[in-house]
Amino acid sequence: AHPDAGAPSAARRSDRAHVLHSWSAHATFEPLVVTGAEGAYFVDESGRRWLDFSSQLVNANVGHQHPKLIAAIQAQAAKLCTIAPYHANEATSEAARLIAEVAPGDLNRVFFTNGGAEAIENAIRIARLHTGRHKVLTAYRSYHGATALAITATGDARRWASEPGAPGIARFWGPYLYRSPFHAGDEAEECRRALAHLADTLAAEGPHTIAAIVLESVVGSSGVLVPPDGYLRGVRELCDAHGILMIADEVMVGFGRCGAWFAIDRWQVVPDLIAFAKGVNSGYVPLGGVIMRDAVAATFATRPYPGGLTYSGHPLACAAAVACIGIYREENLIERARRLGETVVGPALRAMQARHPSVGDVRGLGMFWALELVRDRATREPLVPFDASGAAWAPMAAFADACKRRGLWPLAIGNRLHLAPPLTIDEDALREGLAIVDEALATADRHCRG
């Protein structure tokens, strides 16, 4: 029975009375009470099992309750739960060593944080101190976190309520061929024009005033926007030409999600700083951080870094990172993500596009995809407006409900379904989930014209 059918559980009662959830109004928000999880599934208090196509907030890359990850956390808890960040300990040191090992180029030093927003805050602070400049460029289609500077750095609508925000951020448009801000006809043209626009923006903002360009290597919650080949390299070249640091936000797409350790590796570009979180330990214990190149780290060789956190390098979180990186390696999850993306997810979504008029665009790589839903393929009018909420979002809510009725937990954002199952999901479950999406699309097709 649905939990609301009987008396609400103590968990639900206390939640409704006392918890304010992220991005939600407590009087109307009805959370699912989750009681357990395993692999690609989680279970609610009514006993219903959900196939998790979201990896929660795209963090549970190794799936739920991975036994090796749990064992590592338990062992660390028995040994050393917490220690001040001015001490060294085995878990933190080893996590930093492994992260440097899998990071591209000479990104060899890690500053640990509790999550992604703090990673961005500190990456920008590091870039400002290293360059002696203040201004930072970020993309309109981006999300970088909800703390003061990270939400200002964010380009999408989530920042509006926090404006005017922190000073010193200027914005540019990144590539997005399906809704090209540059009226481009193909990927190569989109790439050229997006780079020309970025160069113009730099010129107008004064390149010598700019500390960093921050961008998501593959844009995540603002649309699963895969950059055209050549774009990230072009950004790197513009940064080099002007002494600007390149900060890759890999919070959502790092650690295997896109079929490489870091999404930017797919284009063999080395940024100056990488912000990471989520997949580093699959979110079993909160952790994030910044990885920096040797030349950037040198700034803080003799000059103390003016920033810190009580839980920087938290042993429990770092032990989970050590175990999680081990799991990625032992289970070949990164290659697996790449292969499943190319052989299962991509082809299945393209077949849906051929069948369903509501599917305007399919894009993604690895285990990170999106279906962009439209009312009209010719005009590309989105199924719901850009900043839709409430009644305006109803067609997407109905589509998400159609997935839920069939046991799939969807990640629906704007007019898109994002598909980000755990990298460990077995192939049968993956195909089953894709079949559910296929069926549910009939709900969206009803809004199509013609």
State the residues that interact with ligand PLP by CB under 6 A. 57, 115-117, 120, 143-145, 216, 220-221, 249, 251-252, 277, 288
Q: Report CA 274 to chain centroid distance, whole Å.
A: 13
Which helix H or strand E contains 125, and what residues bound it? helix 116-131
Minimum distance between the CB of residue 118 and ligand PLP, rounded to whole angstroms? 7
Give whichever of 116 and 155 is closer to ligand PLP, judged by the CB atom: 116
Residue 413 pairs with which residues in a beta bridge? Answer: 416
- Nearer to ligand PLP by C-beta: 116 or 234? 116
Q: To which H or E segment does residue 201 belong?
A: helix 187-205
Nearer to ligand PLP, 423 or 440 (CB): 423
Identify the CA nearest to 287 among candidates 311, 303, 256, 265.
311
At position 258, the amino acid (one-letter code) is C
Q: Give the nearest distance from C-beta 125 to ligand PLP in angstroms.
A: 15
Q: How far is the CB of 413 from ligand PLP (least distance, A)?
A: 11
Helix orientation angle between 394-405 and 427-445, rounded to the nearest 10 degrees: 140
Considering beta carbons, is residue 182 or 369 the nearer one to ligand PLP? 369
> Scanning the structure block, which residue is given the tokens 């049968």?
428
| Shortest distance, position 428 Cβ to ligand PLP, whole Å | 29
The residues near 172 (Cβ < 8 Å, ≥ 6 apart) are 137, 138, 139, 140, 197, 198, 201
Minimum CB separation from ligand PLP for residue 430, in Å?
22
Q: State which residue, 177 or 251, has the beta carbon closest to ligand PLP.
A: 251
Closest CA to 408 of 37, 38, 49: 49
Minimum distance between the CB of residue 124 and ligand PLP, rounded to whole angstroms? Answer: 12
CB of 122 to ligand PLP, least distance (A): 12
Q: Which is nearer to ligand PLP, 235 or 429 (CB)?
A: 235
Nearest-angstrom CA–CA distance, 238 and 137: 12
Q: Which DSSP symbol is given to 305?
A: P
> Which of residues 117 and 362 has its CB atom nearest to ligand PLP in the complex?
117
The CB-nearest residue to ligand PLP is: 116
For residues 252 and 400, which CB has a smaller minimum distance to ligand PLP in the complex? 252
- CA–CA dist 247, 158 (Å, integer): 21
Reported residue count of the chain is 450
Cβ closer to ligand PLP: 260 or 402?
A: 260
Contact 135, 209 (CB under 8 A): yes
Whichever of 252 and 402 has its CB closer to ligand PLP, that residue is 252
Long-range contacts of 376-385 (CB under 8 A, 24+ apart): 376/448, 376/449, 376/450, 377/448, 380/178, 380/179, 382/414, 382/415, 383/358, 383/415, 383/444, 383/447, 384/414, 384/415
- Supply the minimum distance, in Å, between the C-beta of residue 349 and ligand PLP: 21
Single-letter code of the amino acid located at 298: A
Beta strand 368-376 pairing with 359-365: antiparallel
Rounded least distance, CB 91 to ligand PLP, Å: 20
Is the Cβ–Cβ distance between 62 and 328 less than 8 Å? yes
Do residues 448 and 358 lie in contact, with contact meaning Cβ atoms separated by under 8 Å?
A: yes
CB of 251 to ligand PLP, least distance (A): 3
Residue with structure tokens 């409704």?
16
* Contacts for 179 with CB less than 8 Å, ≥ 6 apart: 380
Under 8 Å between Cβ of 111 and 126:
yes
CA distances from 187 to 197, 229, 441 (A): 15, 8, 27
**Which residue lies nearer to ligand PLP by CB, 277 or 349?**
277
Residue 422 Cβ vs ligand PLP, minimum distance, rounded to whole Å: 16
